[in-house]
Amino acid sequence: MHELYRTVTLHLKAQRDSAAALKLWHNLWDAYEQGGAEGVARFMDQIIKLPDNDEADPS
């Protein structure tokens, strides 16, 4: 397991009500592993819901 992934996960788990953040973090990490920095940027674009571009949340 990547050390960064593991350490960030631990930090998030230490936070209160972090279930959603943890889920998002897992998804971000998957996006990074699949597409690197571009994969992360793409994923971020996809989960932003705007009134004129309200698409399904891929997460």
Partner 1 sequence: MSSKTAGESKRWRLASVTVVDFRGVLGSQLFEFNGHPALIWGNNGVGKSTLALALEWILFGAFPSNALAAPKDAFMSPVGGGSKVCKGEVVFVLEEKRLIARRDAAANTFQVEFDDKKVHDNQARVLLEDQLGLDMDTFVRAVLLQQSKIRGLLLDDVKDRNKALDRLLGMDAAEAMLENIKPKPFKDAAKSWRENIESTEAHYQSQAELLEKRFNEAQQEARANKFLGRDLSGAGLTLLYAGLGRDLGKIAGKYGADAPQLPPADTVAGAKKTSAALAKALNQIRLGAELQKKLAPIGKRLAALQAAGEEWAELVEQRDEAQKDLDGIGKHHGDVKAVATRRAELEQELTRLKQQLRSASELRTLLVQARVCFEGDIVDACPVCEQGIAQPKKVLRSIGERIEGLTTKSVREIEKALEKARTSHVDLCETEKKFQTAQTALAEAQKQLEAGRKTTMKLLEVDGLIESKVSSELTKALADVTKQRAELSKGVETMEEDLEAISERDRAVRDGLVPFLECREAVEGHEREWKKAKNSYADAEKKASEMDDRATQVENIKKAILAAKDEIASETLGKAGPRAQKLYEKLVQHPLFDRLDVKTAVKANKVDYSFEVSSSAVNKSAREARLVLSDGQLTAAALALFYALAEAGQHGLDLLYIDDPTQNLDHARKEAMAKVVVDLASRKQIVVSTQDEDFVVLLRDAGFENGCVVHHIEQWDRRPTVSTTMPKTSQA
Of 30, 34, 46, 47, which one interacts with partner 1 (CB under 8 A)? 47
Residue 31 · residue 40 · CB < 8 Å: yes
DSSP state for residue 15 in the 8-state scheme: S
CA distance 11 to 34: 23
Of 30, 34, 44, 56, which one interacts with partner 1 (CB under 8 A)? 44
**Cβ of residue 20: shortest distance to partner 1, in angstroms?**
6
Element spanning 27, H or E: helix 19-47
State the residues that interact with partner 1 by CB under 8 A: 2-5, 7-8, 10-12, 15, 18, 20-21, 24-25, 28, 32, 36-37, 40-41, 44, 47-51, 54
